[in-house]
Amino acid sequence: MSELADRLRAGDLSAAPAVLNLMESRAPGARSEAAELLAAISPASLGREAAAHVVGVTGPPGVGKSSLLSRLVAAWRARGRSVAVLAVDPSSRRSGGSLLGDRARIDHDPADKQVFIRSMAAGDRLGGLAPATRAAAEALAVAFDVVVIETVGVGQSETEVADAADTVAVVIQPGSGDVLQFLKAGIMEVPDVLVVTKADLGRVAERAMSDLRSALGSLGASDTRVVAVSSVPPPSCIDELLDALDAHRDRLDLRARRLWARRAHALAEFAAEYGEHGLRSLGGRRQAQTWLAELDPGLDVPALVRQLQERTRG
Amino acid sequence: MRTYAGHSDAQRSNELYRRNLAKGQTGLSVAFDLPTQTGYDPDHELARGEVGKVGVSIAHRGDMRTLLHDIPLDKMNTSMTINATAAWLLALYIVAAEDEGVAEGQLQGTTQNDILKEYLSRGTYAFPPGPSMRLIADTIAYTVTHVPKWNPINICSYHLQEAGATPVQEIAYSMSNAIAVLDAVRDRVEESLMGEVFGRISFFVNAGVRFVEEHAKLRAMGQLWEALGRERYGVEDPRQLRFRYGVQVNSLGLTEAQPENNVYRIALEALAVTLGRDARARAIQLPAWNEALGLPRPWDQQWSLRLQQILAYETDILEYGDIFEGSKVMDGLVVELVQGARHEMERVADQGGAVEAVDYMKAALVESHRERWQRIESGELTVVGMNRFQETEPSPLTAADDGGILVVDPAVEQERREALEAWRAERDEGKVRAALDALARVAKDDGENIMPASIAAARAGVTTGEWSQTLREAFGEYRAPTGVGEAAAVSSDDVAELRDEVERVSEALGRRLKFLVGKPGLDGHSNGAEQIAVRARDAGMDVVYEGIRLTPSQIATSAAQEGVHVIGLSILSGSHAELIPAVLAALKEAGAGEIPVVVGGIIPEADAAALREAGVAAVYTPKDWDLNRMMRDIVGLVAERNSVPA
């Protein structure tokens, strides 16, 4: 039985750094330990879904995601919730290295033990998430009240986040017409909440809001909430955004969404390990998804990965 | 002729100024410590280790009065290197003069008051760009009517070159900056005053050792400035159109290796700004030969002053007209620079102006600096004594007991805290409260000028930290872009071997080698840290770089939460002796005491030994200019600490 799993189950937030170190490690010993940890915090072991609200926050660079997160973290803390932020940044394709700078832009009291921020390099993965983000989010969701997955990009990156989070908020700034285009063209999936930053710009922000609302309406997604916020003093509508995120979570069939997330996680792990070739031997990604959907919903992620492996051999 | 001076407290600095004036110095150039520059009182957590270090600590009107004691303010020309808190220090200066019976209308001097270059290079900003531009515009609008002989802003291209700017970038970004300032002022003064405003804007430029090109740069700036005045602001008076500038010659090129050679560099650089009459500096400030080692002593500053006096009184450069008139080489260089600068100015304008283009300019500077550094590393650019001709006899100059630098008494910080407490205890709290409330109200009303409320607050005994905190609450906190994300990767050949080693060690560690680069304290000189961060990324590491101004506990929390394998700390302000042990202690407390720490900065050997004694794994100084070698050391250190075999 994993000691880290025990600590997470007991609500020990100080286990977070060690959990991340373990999940990120590719060393064989660490990987089997990570699998044990994931099994020990699976709904089958816990007897319920992990309680946290897993929130994806994504959007193009420069829209003010970090300032927004500063305000969100403060607002969650003011409501007495502990917060873990997994901030994913791209890696250099040439060197494999990365520059991770977001954490300083998220204002928080370093002495506050209820806030945990970890920067994660995406490595050679496309799609917005780092290799260990899903596993980390699943594990931290056992101990924290809120787990945020922050990714950069628009168009594709929110797809993977949507597979991992309960609620996805896409952040855009007024005047970003490309998002509107992406939405209409279906390049981008409709998010659960759309956040328009820089509401202090007044009229420009209002126009952006109404453009988005009408686009959502024509896509038949008029229940997607659009919230305009301002992160500069005086910040505005942060609580409204929090309420919108909470409302989405309350309406959600959490069991179904998490089940979907675990299956997507298993398939991603499998694809990372066996590549295109592996996926082909399952009959392609879509077929693999269909096959996964028929498996026992109680299976944890490592068990699902094993099933996929066995299927390729069978 | 002046030297940039000030340290410890107001009393000690006042003594220093009076000594310098007696030696023939003709004005004052006040250096403030970092807490004063960034708006923190000496007892603030971030002020730790920095009080009185790189300049004098001024917390209230009483300090300002002591600083200026027995100095005739109606005659003195006082230059204050102060930016984020310029409006406040000017308010204190006005009130101190008032106490001496000198009216504000008689005061002469300069507040540097240039915030954009703080985001781009120097790092002592306090507020976000929008409100900062408003403070600048307010001080200009106030002085042009109330303190007419004051230079309210000194637009600095100096620090851009220190951050790596090419001559074209130096010209273009400083001119773009001036445009942003003038446009902001245009909204706040009567149209008829714009000529006067234009004429009061002065520049603070850099002069590097390529002194022929540097001279051309100044001629180009003069041309562009005049054109800008005529075309954009309709200024016609030739007196107002003159490009007025002061200069501090280059520190970037000064070396720690064979530091005596810096004297020659400084002399040559001084020629760049004096040789041709048509582009001659109005004020010169020369650095001391030992700046790359630590704080200059009074004798070092005297040596710099003497160089200026030799230039002015022994040589014949002041006896002739413009000696470059009609020079094809000079004219050609000027044309080239003007064209290049205009092109770059357009790029900035396309992004909406200098305020909006801060990210772009910062990234461009980091990139230029990286390129320059790579040329030094490859030997393409010669720096005598550093990457060529390294052999040297032992230097008698650095053999003195003090290591050839000034050491600020660490007791100053405690003294300053106690003095501040006494000041707070004696003042009228009701008046202070009322003044701060009024200030907060004005801060929120963009239409009102901040100066009268600041002057009233100075009179009431408000402190530097209280003034700034009030504005921080109104304006919000701000972190400038680090510019590192966009920096181009070095060519693969140079780092291929290093990358292989990073891969090998990462593989053995189980995850990619993760490196935290941190800048504790208030020191904003981030060039070194930025270059280290970029190179570490290029070597294949995951690098956590959070920019400047971090407390020890922030660094420790980051290190623990991020699960880094090694920490690099950079400090250039001389506060390493206090801050590094504080970080080590915070790491232990955060349960991350086993993570190895390396330190870089301007660190005298005696201090380096003490740091190693305290548990620092390695200390790097400017003589360790080969970044790849440093990276190899760091990878080796991680391997060793994690029992990865070589």
Residue B535 lies in a domain: yes
Interface of B with A in 309-348 (CB under 8 A): none
Q: Is B629 domain-assigned?
A: yes
Contacts of A94 (CB under 8 A, 6+ apart): B489, B492, B538
Give the domain range for residue B521.
Answer: 492-641
Q: Sign of the C-alpha dihedral, residues B516, B522, B523, B526?
A: positive
The band of B97, judged by pLDDT with boundaries at 50, 70 and 90, is very high
Global confidence as pTM: 0.88
Mean pLDDT to the nearest integer, B596-613: 93
pLDDT in tens, A214-259: 888 888 887 788 898 888 777 889 999 999 999 999 999 999 999 9
| Residue A159, both tokens | 């797809």
- Range with lowest mean pLDDT among B240-254, B518-532, B616-630: B240-254
The verdict on B159 and B265 lying in the same domain is: yes
Cα radius of gyration rounded to whole Å, chain B: 24
pLDDT, residue B433, reads: 97
CATH of the domain at B561: 3.40.50.280
In whole angstroms, give the CA distance from residue B577 to residue B593.
Answer: 18
Of A116, A123, A233, the CB nearest to B474: A233
* pLDDT confidence bin for B628, thresholds 50/70/90: very high
Please name the member of B479, B492, B561 whose beta carbon is closest to the beta carbon of A17: B561
* A82–chain B nearest CA distance, Å: 15
**Same domain for B279 and B339?**
yes
Nearest-by-CA chain A residue for B541: A97
Q: What was the pLDDT predicted at B459?
A: 98
Residue B267 has pLDDT above 70, yes or no: yes
Per residue, the 3-state secondary structure of chain A, as one string, reads CCHHHHHHHCCCHHHHHHHHHHHHCCCHHHHHHHHHHHHHCCHHHHCCCCCCEEEEEEECCCCCHHHHHHHHHHHHHHCCCCEEEEEEECCCCCCCCEEECHHHHCCCCCCCCCEEEEEEECCCCCCCCCCCHHHHHHHHHHHCCEEEEEEECCCCHHHHHHHHCCEEEEEECCCCHHHHHHHHHCCCCCCCEEEECCHHHCHHHHHHHHHHHHHHHHCCCCCCEEEECECCCCCECHHHHHHHHHHHHHHCCHHHHHHHHHHHHHHHHHHHHHHHHHHHHCCCHHHHHHHHHCCCCCCCHHHHHHHHHHHHHC
pLDDT band with cut points at 50, 70 and 90 for residue B396: confident
Residues B369 and B228 in one domain: yes
What pLDDT, in 10s, does the model give residues B165-210? 999 999 999 999 999 999 999 988 888 999 999 999 999 999 999 9
Residue A138's pLDDT is: 97
Interface residue B550 vs chain A (CB under 8 A): yes
Residues A98-102: what's their mean pLDDT?
85
Give pLDDT tens digits for B133-159. Answer: 999 999 999 999 999 999 999 999 999
B530: contact with A, CB 8 A cutoff: no
Q: Identify whether residues B231 and B290 lie together within a single domain.
A: yes
pLDDT tens per residue across span B444-466:
998 899 999 999 999 999 999 99
Averaged pLDDT of chain A: 89
How confident is the model at residue B342, as a pLDDT? 98
- Comparing alpha-carbon positions, the chain A residue that sits nearest to B544 is A100
Among A23-37, A191-205, B336-350, name the one with the lowest average pLDDT: A191-205
What is the spatial distance between Cα B583 and Cα B593, in angstroms, rounded to a whole number? 10
CB pairs under 8 A between A and B: 111
Check pLDDT > 80 for residue B589: yes
Which residues of chain A approach chain B closer than 8 Å at the C-beta? 14, 16-17, 20-21, 24-27, 30, 62, 91-92, 94-101, 103-105, 107, 110-111, 116-119, 121, 123, 232-233
Closest chain A residue to B474 measured between Cα atoms? Answer: A233
Q: Are B121 and B162 in contact (CB under 8 A)?
A: yes
Calculate what percentage of chain A has a pLDDT beyond 70.
96
Q: Do residues B363 and B485 lie in contact, with contact meaning Cβ atoms separated by under 8 Å? A: yes
Say yes or no: B188 and B300 in one domain: yes
The pLDDT value given to residue A10: 96
Phi-psi domain of A62 (left: phi exceeds 0; alpha: psi -120 through 50; beta: other): left
Arithmetic mean of pLDDT, B18-37: 89
Active site residue B158: yes
Structural domain includes residue B110: yes
Q: Which of B380, B400, B420 lies at the terminal end of a domain, its last residue?
A: B400
* Domains: count for chain B: 3
Homologous superfamily (CATH) of A48-252 is P-loop containing nucleotide triphosphate hydrolases (3.40.50.300)
The confidence score (pLDDT) of residue A231 equals 81
Residue B293 is predicted with a pLDDT of 72
A107·B502 Cβ contact <8 A: no
User: Strand, helix or coil at B219?
Assistant: helix
For residue range A186-222, what is the model confidence (pLDDT) as tens digits?
Answer: 767 778 999 988 877 778 888 888 888 888 888 888 7
| Residue A110: closest C-alpha in chain B | B554
In a domain, B18, yes or no: yes
Domain match, B525 and B597 both: yes
- One domain for residues B221 and B364: yes
Both B474 and B502 in one domain: the answer is no
Largest CA distance in chain A: 61
Considering the domain architecture, whether residues B148 and B159 belong to the same structural domain is answered as no
Render pLDDT for B401-441 as a digit per residue (tens, 0 to 9).
Answer: 666 666 778 889 999 999 999 999 999 999 999 999 999 99
What are the residues whose beta carbons fall under 8 Å from the beta carbon of A69, sequence distance 6 or more? A57, A85, A105, A106, A148, A150
Q: Which residues of A touch B541 (CB under 8 A)?
A: 97
Residue B305: per-residue pLDDT: 85
| Residue from A96, A24, A98 nearest B500 by CA | A96
Sequence spans of domains, chain A: 48-252, 257-313
Radius of gyration of chain A (CA): 19
Length of chain A: 314
Which of A79, A59, A49 lies closest to A161 in space, CA to CA? A59
Out of B44, B362, B514, B525, the active site residue is B525
Residues of B in Cβ contact (< 8 Å) with A21:
511, 563
Q: Is the same domain home to B135 and B160?
A: no
In the predicted model, is pLDDT for residue A1 greater than 60?
A: no
Helix axes A177-185, A203-218, angle to 10 degrees: 0
* A110 interaction partners in chain B (CB closer than 8 Å): 551, 553-554, 556-558
Any chain A CB within 8 A of the CB of B495? yes
Does residue B544 belong to the interface with chain A, where contact is any CB pair within 8 Å? yes
Mean pLDDT of chain B: 92
- What mean pLDDT is predicted for residues A89-97? 82
Residue whose C-alpha is closest to residue B291's, from B608, B1, B610, B3? B3
| Residue B205: closest CA among B239, B163, B160 | B160
pLDDT at position B283: 76
Q: What is the pLDDT of residue B231?
A: 96
Yes or no: say if B294 and B403 are a contact pair by the CB < 8 Å rule. Answer: yes
Two tokens, residue B104: 């504000």
Coil/strand/helix, residue B619: strand
Sequence-distant (6+) residues with CB within 8 A of B290 are B259, B262, B296, B300, B397, B398, B404, B405
Which residues in B578-600 are b (16+ Cβ under 10 Å) and which e? bbbbbbbbbbeebebbebbbbbb
Lowest model confidence (mean pLDDT) among A223-237, B242-256, B286-300, B626-640:
B286-300
Return the pLDDT at B284. 80
Q: Measure the CA–CA gap between A64 and A67, rounded to whole angstroms.
A: 5
In chain B, the percentage of residues whose pLDDT exceeds 70 is: 97
Q: Any catalytic annotation for residue B7?
A: no
Both B589 and B538 in one domain: the answer is: yes
Q: Do both B234 and B347 map to the same domain? A: yes
Q: How many residues does chain B have?
A: 646
Please tell me the distance from the alpha carbon of residue B140 to that of residue B154, in angstroms, as a whole number: 11
CA distances from B620 to B247, B311, B572 (A): 30, 36, 11
* DSSP assignment letter at B155: E
Give the pLDDT of residue A92.
77
Q: Which pLDDT value is given to residue A238?
A: 93
The catalytic position among B117, B159, B215, B217 is B159
- Partner-chain contact B561 A116, CB within 8 Å: yes
pLDDT over threshold 80, residue A269? yes
Of the three residues B353, B379, B400, the one that is the final residue of a domain is B400
For residue B132, the domain's CATH number is 3.20.20.240
pLDDT value at residue B295: 67
At residue B409, the pLDDT reads 80
Q: Greater confidence, B28 or B490? A: B28
Distance between CA atoms of B259 and B394, rounded to whole angstroms? 11
